[in-house]
Amino acid sequence: MPIRGGLPPRNPRFVGREELLTRVRGLLGNGPVVLLPSPDHQLGGTGRTQLAVEYAYRHADAYELVWWIPAEQSAGMRAALAGLAQKLGLPEARDLNRTLGAVRDALSRGEPYRHWLVVFENANRPEDIMPYLPSGAGHVLVTSRNPRWTAEVAQVLPVPVFDRSDAVDLLRGRVTELSAADADRLADRLGDVPIALDLAAAVRAATGWPVDEYLDRYDRRAAELAFPTPIRVAWGLAAEALDRAAPADRVLLELCTFLASAPISWQLLWAARTLPLEEEVARTVRVERRLRAAMRRIARFGLAGLDPSGERLTVHPLIRGMFGQELSSQRHAGLLRTVRGMLAAADPGDPDNPAGWYRYAELAPHLIHSDLLGGEAEEARQLVINCIRFHYARGDYDSSRELAGAAVTRWRDALGESAEQTLLASFHLANALRAVGRTAEARNLNLHTLRTQREVFGADDEATLATANSVGGDLRMQGHFGQARQLDADNLVRYRRLFGESFPTALRCANNLGIDLRLLGDFRGARALDEQTLRHRQAVLLDGHPETWASRAALAYDLFGLGDYAGVAAVLAGHAEHVAEDHPFALWAGRLTAMAAHRRGLPEARELAAATLAACRQRFGDLSVDTLATAVSSANCARAAGDLAGAHELLERAVIRLHAVLGDEHPFTLAASAGLAGVVRAAGRHADARTIDEEVLGGLRRSVGADHPFTLSCANGLAADLFAAGEAQRARELAADTLRRSRVVRGADHPDTAACAWNLALTDGDRAARQQALAALAKAYGDGHPVFRATAAGQRLETDIDLPPL
């Protein structure tokens, strides 16, 4: 049996279509096939989806994998493809787009399944699915109403109405005592249109109307319409019959008019029980048993599909559209208010919690059709904001950005630019923009939002503080670490005063301030703050909570910066084993472990660094700052192992990409360039290294100051360049200044301070100073460390730069 995902139940009453099924099978061998309505029924109703479902079941044995993807809305399509990624065993990237690209590529390569079938249902915008269309030995089947499919993308196959014999078989299959002659009469009147035939068969089965009575009713209703069509007339008879049997059920269907084609769960309809409703409707939705019975009656009359479990209704777009056209403007407005209230009442809250994501996945498709963005109630707009955050939290940054952008545009006009929820949507839009790499737009939007929030709500408002935290992230991305520290320190004071030290958002702000301190080279201050944050998080959160892991990683980075390389392993010991290999914490832990192993002279450092770099590329992408920082650490390990060519390639590529992502003057770009100079110097090209180091040192002094660890490491390298060039006096002055600063900043016992002392002693030719430096190195590293091979050979020591997280 093939692996299946999302495939709708097979229609037990499917009939005919043998020639079409054969044609689909033949065409799929030549590339994607799109099923379209026939030209004379462009609105649909000819059975495209049922044909695709039947094909999938009939030929399932020819495939190893069959996956069904609802493609009417891009968010739902991305979610279904993310589910396929899990089934393919692909690691989940932070950015969902990377995961979806990996799905396409894995299918195209035939890994791990060579023979597969992927069905995109209701793909009415070809441009939306084109980035995700795989090639290879598998098959792609598409259903659509849009005729704008080019031959370069897919082969078009129109799906016409039934042949008469198939139409007769469908009608007789529903009511076995129906004669062939009567079935032929019905099929003739219904134009052999599949959806009209299905409605007629369902209504006759539900009401017991004889054929003559049905046809009489059909003719009378057709005479009342200006433009009667088989679908419209058959729908009208079904809706009228349901209204007569159970008026409340018709109202439920009218509510569905404002929802999407996606399945509608009974829980969503049940949420309406808290709203003011007509008495009989209120009685129906108030009790689950009655609501489920109503859903079964609706399905009996053919007006919706009901899944085998009885959990979800699916209403055909044509049925929804015809109900909508029958509503007066006053009733339309009243039902729309009810639907918006129903959606808001179904909001589970806490969109960051994965436990509730399945509920948001059910609600999100209905936001557009209900025009929830235009809702007047605050709770309806809050559901929009929560859905924006849900998309972001699960890594679907594009869906988050699209919904947030639409909300900001609508609410600026309707509510005003300074309205609370307009500003909240702006905050989330900035987050999504930053996540997709549009950092300048994010920064400008955040600054504007923060100014407005401070003016309208004050600096102590919780939403204002959240935006200020986001601005701090923008400042770090710009390399303005000092400004970020100032802002985050002010935020933390406010958070603690308003909410207390252990409040989750106060702890997040403390975590951000720790990042700032670490980026500024204040590892002692960062350690004190991160230890405190970790204690609070352990007290209020489970130890396996992502924020607890983040605090452990932060503390490990602090210890690394302080030169306590053994302490890094102690903080991380055992904790990364409880998360997936590609979880951000596992990747942070992997990089830190490799960095500490490199500093301790352990041989496994390089292999661990390379494995972590490969995992980061898969998880975050080549242009992620996390990936580029890991590449710098991996290059340090490669250089220490003697692979200068490999180290040079890694650093050169990292520098180019950091230039593109962060800019020329960002401290990370400059620090990686200093690392590149170290590799060039190790290859004996001191003049080239000097050129790089002189430019980098000036940039670092301007951006982070002369006392920053990045600056000190670059200065240490430049002193070596000057010494090699015969400029002993300049080399000595720079080496002495670097040592003095390192003792103040890093501490006298720090390994890098000991390395600076060794280098100055070599420059001076001072035997006693060399012995003191060797003693300091022995204290820092212990006996047998590879550093002593370099000192024994009279070589100068590098002080490598590793980039902490932004």
Residue 329, number of CB atoms within 10 A of its CB: 7
- Whether residue 32 is found in the same domain as residue 127: yes
Clarify whether residues 145 and 246 are in a common domain.
no
At residue 164, the pLDDT reads 95
Q: What is the pLDDT of residues 191-238, one digit of tens each?
A: 999 999 999 999 999 999 999 999 999 999 999 999 999 999 999 999
**What angle (nearest 5°) sits at the alpha carbon of residue 8, between those of residues 4 and 10?**
100
What is the structure's pLDDT at 42?
81
What distance in Å separates the CA atoms of residue 477 and residue 484, rounded to the nearest whole number? 10
CA distance linking residue 279 with residue 283, whole number of Å: 6
Angle between helices 546-561 and 565-572 (to 10 degrees): 170
Please classify residue 676 by burial: count the beta carbons closer than 10 Å to its beta carbon, then call 0-12 exposed, 13-18 middle and 19+ buried: buried
Strand order in the sheet with 155-159: 3-5, 65-70, 116-121, 139-143, 33-37, 155-159
218 and 140 co-located in one domain: no
- Say whether both 170 and 209 belong to one domain: yes
DSSP letter for 35, please. Answer: E
Q: With respect to residue 657, please indicate whether it lies within any of the assigned structural domains.
A: no
Reported as a single tens digit per residue, the pLDDT across 142-152 is 999 998 898 88
> What per-residue confidence (pLDDT) applies to 352?
86
Distance in angstroms (rounded) separating the CA atoms of residues 218 and 651 = 77
**Residue 576 pLDDT greater than 80, yes or no:** no
Please report whether residue 77 resides in a domain.
yes
> What is the model's pLDDT at position 176?
79
Regarding whether 328 and 188 lie in a shared domain, the answer is yes
pLDDT at 36: 95
Residue 94 has pLDDT above 80, yes or no: no
Containing structural domain, residue 140:
3-160
Q: At 168, which amino acid appears? A: V
Which of 92, 127, 160 terminates a domain? The answer is: 160
pLDDT surpasses 80 at 575: no
Q: Could you tell me which of 605, 597, 598, 511 has the C-alpha nearest to residue 558?
A: 511
Token output for 406: 């639409």
Q: Amino acid identity, residue 138? A: G
Kindly indicate the confidence band of residue 621, based on its pLDDT and cuts at 50, 70 and 90.
confident
Residue with tokens 């009279």: 794
* Cα angle for residues 125, 127, 131 (degrees, 5° grid): 130
Let me know whether 216 and 267 are in one domain: yes
**Does residue 50 lie in a domain region?**
yes
For the segment 742-769, the average pLDDT, to the nearest whole number, is 94
- For 632, residues 6+ apart whose C-beta sits below 8 A from its C-beta are 650, 651, 654, 671, 672, 675, 801, 802, 803
- CB count, 10 Å around CB of 171? 25
Domain contains 564: no
- Indicate the SS3 state at residue 314: strand
**Which structure tokens are listed for 768?**
């006693």
Q: What is the mean pLDDT of residues 27-46?
A: 91
Kindly report the CATH number assigned to the domain that includes residue 760.
1.25.40.10
318 and 177 co-located in one domain = yes
Does some domain include residue 398?
A: no
Q: 131 in a domain, yes or no? A: yes
pLDDT over 80 at 717, yes or no = yes
Inform me whether the pLDDT recorded for 612 exceeds 90.
yes
C-alpha–C-alpha distance, residues 372 and 281, integer Å: 22
* Shared-domain flag, residues 145 and 274: no
Nearest-angstrom CA–CA distance, 480 and 494? 22
Please compute the mean of the pLDDT values over residues 449-478 and round it to a whole number: 95
Of 317, 338, 362, the residue at which a domain comes to its end is 362
pLDDT digit string, tens, across residues 165-187: 999 999 998 887 899 999 999 99
Chain-wide mean pLDDT for the chain? 93
Which residues, listed in sequence order, are joined to residue 306 by a DSSP beta bridge?
313
* Helices and strands per DSSP (H, E), number in the chain: 39, 9
Q: 304-313, 423-432, 573-582: which has the minimum mean pLDDT?
A: 573-582
* Tokens linked to 736: 């002495």
pLDDT at 578: 59
Query: Where in 669-750 does DSSP place strands (E)?
Result: none
Residues 448 and 412: their CA atoms lie apart, in Å, by 14
Contacts 24+ apart (CB under 8 A), 285-294: 285/252, 291/266, 292/266, 294/246, 294/248, 294/249, 294/252
For residue range 48-93, list pLDDT tens digits in order: 999 999 999 999 999 999 999 999 888 889 989 999 998 998 877 7
Q: Which amino acid is at 453?
A: Q
| Alpha-carbon span 17 to 163, nearest angstrom | 8
Q: How far apart are CA 143 and CA 20, in angstroms?
A: 14
Helix (H) or strand (E) holding 70, with range, is strand 65-70
Q: Are 105 and 47 in contact (CB under 8 A)?
A: no
pLDDT at 235: 96
User: In whole angstroms, what is the distance from residue 428 CA to residue 200 CA?
Assistant: 49
Helix/strand/coil percentages in the chain, nearest 5: 70, 5, 30
Q: What is the DSSP string of 233-285?
A: HHHHHHHHHHHHH-HHHHHHHHHHTTS-SS-EEHHHHHGGGGS---HHHHHHH
Q: How confident is the model at residue 544 (pLDDT cuts 50, 70, 90)?
A: confident
In a domain, 400, yes or no: no
Give the model confidence (pLDDT) of 646-686 as tens digits: 999 999 999 999 999 999 999 999 999 999 999 999 999 99
Please tell me whether residues 99 and 48 are part of one structural domain: yes
Residues 56, 60, 63, 68, CA torsion sign: positive
Give the least confident one: 282-286, 391-395, 633-637. 391-395
Same domain, 185 and 324: yes
Residue 577: its pLDDT value, please? 59
Tell me if 599 sits within 8 A of 613, measured CB to CB: no
Evaluate whether residue 697 is within a structural domain.
yes
- Per-residue pLDDT tens for 102-135? 999 999 999 999 999 999 999 998 998 999 999 9
752 has a pLDDT exceeding 90: yes
Would you say how long the chain is, in residues? Answer: 806
Identify whether residues 147 and 227 lie together within a single domain.
Answer: no
pLDDT at 765: 87
Distances (CA, A) of 39 to 15, 46, 146: 22, 11, 11
CATH number at residue 55: 3.40.50.300
Distance CA 732, CA 738 (A): 10
Amino acid code (one letter) for 734: L
Query: For residue 40, what pLDDT band results from cuts at 50, 70 and 90?
Result: confident
Residue 161: closest CA among 43, 261, 58, 55: 43
135 plus 179 within the same structural domain: no
Please write down the HEC assignment for all residues of 87-145.
HCCCCCCCCHHHHHHHHHHHHHHCCCCCCEEEEEECCCCHHHHHHHCCCCCCEEEEECC
Partnered with residue 121 across adjacent β-strands are 70
Band (pLDDT 50/70/90 cuts) for residue 540 is confident
* Gap between the Cα atoms of 658 and 678, Å rounded: 18
Q: Name the token pair of 61.
A: 């044995």
Q: What is the pLDDT of residue 572?
A: 86
Please tell me the total count of domains within the chain: 3
β-strand pairing of 312-314 with 305-306:
antiparallel
Q: How far is Cα 376 from Cα 380, in angstroms, rounded to an integer?
A: 7
**pLDDT > 80? residue 609:** yes
232-287 confidence digits (pLDDT tens): 999 999 999 999 999 999 999 999 999 998 899 999 999 999 999 999 999 999 99
Of 327, 362, 397, the domain-final residue: 362
Please give the residue that has the higher pLDDT: either 97 or 635. Answer: 635
Please report, for residues 52, 121, 707, the alpha-carbon distance to residue 67 in angstroms, rounded to integers and kept in the order given: 12, 11, 58
